[in-house]
Amino acid sequence: MANLTPQHLSLLADQLNTAAGRHDWQQVKRIDLQIRQLVPASKSLPATPVLQESLSQLKHAHQHALISLSQAREKLKQQLDSATEQKERLMAYQLAMDME
């Protein structure tokens, strides 16, 4: 519970924003695990305005990371679909060349 301070939560939000901006998904995962451990414990603390603001920043950063990850996943899916289509065209071309 020692790390459950508004300053630490703000630091996690900054780190999460940076990792998502760099598309460093392993770092995003590590930070997410830290958040998952800390946030439930925050419910037992007094709801001070400073703590609420830090939690809000962290929630916003988490949402931003989720959006970035979803966009990266969609881009990768499109690249994989394109590669599959190119492979199928190449196989059809090779088959046609073999028939000649």
For residue range 37-56, list pLDDT tens digits in order. 887 887 777 888 998 899 89
Is 88 contained in some domain? no
Q: Residue 46 is part of which domain span?
A: 6-74
pLDDT at position 84: 85
Q: Per the structure, how many domains does the chain have?
A: 1
Is 44 contained in some domain? yes
Is 17 contained in some domain? yes
- Tell me if 83 sits within 8 A of 35, measured CB to CB: no
Is 90 contained in some domain? no
Mean pLDDT confidence for 16-43: 91
Is 48 contained in some domain? yes
Mean pLDDT confidence for 64-76: 94
- Tell me if 85 sits within 8 A of 38, measured CB to CB: no
Is 22 contained in some domain? yes
Distance of CA 67 to the CA centre of its chain: 7
- Please list, in sequence order, all residues whose beta carbon lies within 8 angstroms of the beta carbon of residue 45, skipping any fewer than 6 positions away: 4, 51
Which tokens hold the place of 33?
A: 């695990």
Is 95 contained in some domain? no
pTM value is: 0.74
Is 96 contained in some domain? no
